[in-house]
Amino acid sequence: ALRIAHILRNTSAFQGKDVVVQGWVRTRRDSKAGISFLEVNDGSCLTNLQVVLERDRPNLAALVERLTTGSSVEVRGTLTPSPGKRQSVELLARDILLYGWTDPARYPLQKKRHSFEFLRTIAHLRPRTNTLGAVARIRNRLSYALHTFFQEEGFFYVHTPIITTSDCEGAGDVFRVTTLNPTELEHANDESLYAQDFFHKPTFLTVSGQLQAEIYALALGKVYTFGPTFRAENSNTSRHLAEFWMVEPEMAFADLDDDLALAQRCLQYVVSDLLEHSWDDLQFFARFVEPGLLESLKAVKEQPFEVISYTEAVNLLKKSKEPFNFPAEWGSDLQSEHERYLTEKAFRRPVAVINFPRDLKPFYMRVNDDGKTVAAMDVLVPRVGEIIGGSQREERRDMLLEQMNRKGISLESYAWYLELREYGSAPHCGFGLGLERFVQFVTGLGNIREVIPFPRTPGHADF
C-alpha cells in the first residue's frame, strides 16, 4: 500500500495509475446518483483521500453500508483527477477490504469538534483526530530536526541515566525509585531499609541529565542528551507535566554568549525546518487554534532574540502599567504573566533574560563578577513563556565549593562533580529545552496536556 502523503506529494506520477491505500474512514456520504464518497485518512498527513464508490459494482454494493466512520479499510483503485474543488485527485475504487468494522452508534469520535478535556479521556482514540494527529507528526519532525541540528553542529548524542541518586538540586520535586515492596516501604523512613533496596541508597527518576552531560562535555567537547525527564510538579498548570521530554546540549570551552548563540541557532533551525516540512499541519493550527501562529514562527526565523538582563527585565515590569497578580521584584523569579508580558507586549518576539540573582538559581551556575548574579539565561517565547533554561557552569573549584556550602549541597554526593574542576576544568555551558513547551509554541495549543501523547499530571497516569 502507498501512504496518502506520498501520493499527494506526487500526484502527477500516480495520475491514472492503480494504487492501494490503507486507513480509517473519516466520513461517508451517499449521493442519490448511486455514488458514495469516503474520506479516508491514514495518518501520514492531515489530508484525507477522497474515495469514490460506484454502488452498482457487485463487489461493493453489499459492503458500502458497513463502511462506517472509524472503520479500517484497504482500497484498491485508480487515481483520477477530481472534479471537486477540495482536492486535486480522488481514488476511484475497484475493490475494498474492510478490516475492522466500527459501530457508529458507539464510536466516541463523532463528526464534530470534541473538547480537549473529553479527548483526554479517550487517549487510545484521540490520535485519530486532526489535532492530535497533527501534534504527533509535529513532535516527530521537531525531534528529528533537533537531532539533525545538534549532529550538524558537531554534538554527540549521549545517553544519560534515568535512575540516579542525584536530584540535580532543586530543579523540581523528585519521584522516588525503590525496589522495596509495599510492606517494606511502610518502614521506608528507616535509613536501614535503604540497605535492603536494590540501590542501597535513595534513588530518583532524573529531573535533568545536565550534570552527567557535563561529564561528557568535558571529554567529548560537545554533547547533548535527549530523553524523558520527571518532576513531581504537584500543581496543575497549563505548562507543567510530571513526565516531559528535554533536549540538553552541553559544550566545553564556551561561555554564556556562546550558549545564547547556540540557543538562537537551534530555534531558528528547527522553526525553519518545520515551516518547510510540516507546513500543512502548521497551517491547520494557524487556522483553528492560533491565528497569529505563522507570523510568530516567521519572526523566530528572521529575528534574533531580544537579550536583556534580569535586572532590566524587572525594571521594565515595574514601570509597566500591567496589573500583575504578583508584582515583579528584584530577587524573586519571573512569573509566567511576566514572561508573557515581555514577549507579547514589551518586545513581541523571543526574549532571552540573562544574569539572574545568585540566590534564585542552582549551585552549578557560574557566579558573575558582581558576586550577586549568575550567568544564567532563560529564553522566553510568546504565549508559552520559558522554553529554555540554561547557564554557564561554575568551572572554578573554589567558587563551586563556596556555592555548594552556601546552598547546603552535600559535598559527599557531589564529590565527583567537584573533582571535575580539579582535573582539566574548562569553562562550559549548556541549556535545557522542553520539547512540549516548544510544541506548544509551534502549535499555539494552550494546554501542555494536548501536546504529548500520554500526559502525566497529578492524578493522571492511565493509558
Which of 249, 389 has the CB closer to Mg ion?
A: 389
Distance CA 442, CA 145 (A): 14
Count of residues engaged in binding Mg ion, rule: CB under 5 A: 2
The distance of closest approach from Cβ of residue 358 to ligand ATP in the complex, given in angstroms and rounded to an integer, is 16
- Cβ atoms 62, 146 nearer than 8 A: no
Which of 39, 259 has the CB closer to ligand ATP?
A: 259
The distance of closest approach from Cβ of residue 326 to Mg ion in the complex, given in angstroms and rounded to an integer, is 14
The distance of closest approach from Cβ of residue 233 to ligand ATP in the complex, given in angstroms and rounded to an integer, is 5
Which of 40, 247 has the CB closer to ligand ATP?
A: 247
Which of 52, 241 has the CB closer to ligand ATP?
A: 241
| Phi, psi angle pair for 458, to nearest 5° | -50, 125
Q: Which does 314 bind (CB under 5 to 8 A by kind): ligand ATP, Mg ion, none?
A: none
Burial 326-346 (b: 16+ CB within 10 A, else e): eebeeeeebbeebbbbbbbeb
Which of 184, 333 has the CB closer to ligand ATP?
A: 333
Selected range binding Mg ion among 87-95, 188-196, 258-266, 387-395, rule: CB under 5 A: 387-395
Q: Which does 246 bind (CB under 5 to 8 A by kind): ligand ATP, Mg ion, none?
A: ligand ATP
- Cβ atoms 3, 23 nearer than 8 A: no
Which of 389, 444 has the CB closer to Mg ion?
A: 389
Q: Please identify which residue in 249, 382, 385, 389 interacts with Mg ion, judged by CB under 5 A.
A: 389
Which of 222, 437 has the CB closer to ligand ATP?
A: 437
Residue numbers 150-209 binding Mg ion by CB under 5 A:
none
Q: Please report, as ranges, the residues that interact with ligand ATP according to CB under 6 A.
A: 171-172, 231, 233, 240-241, 244, 246, 386-389, 432, 434, 436-437
The distance of closest approach from Cβ of residue 221 to ligand ATP in the complex, given in angstroms and rounded to an integer, is 22
Q: Which does 437 bind (CB under 5 to 8 A by kind): Mg ion, ligand ATP, none?
A: ligand ATP
The distance of closest approach from Cβ of residue 172 to Mg ion in the complex, given in angstroms and rounded to an integer, is 5
Q: Which does 434 bind (CB under 5 to 8 A by kind): Mg ion, ligand ATP, none?
A: ligand ATP
Distance CA 108, CA 115 (A): 12
Burial 113-145 (b: 16+ CB within 10 A, else e): eeebeebbeebeebbbbbbbbbbbbbbebbbeb
Q: Which does 127 bind (CB under 5 to 8 A by kind): Mg ion, ligand ATP, none?
A: none
Selected range binding Mg ion among 154-162, 202-210, 286-294, 388-396, rule: CB under 5 A: 388-396
Which of 70, 350 has the CB closer to ligand ATP?
A: 350
The distance of closest approach from Cβ of residue 336 to ligand ATP in the complex, given in angstroms and rounded to an integer, is 7
Binding-site ranges for Mg ion (CB under 5 A)? 386, 389
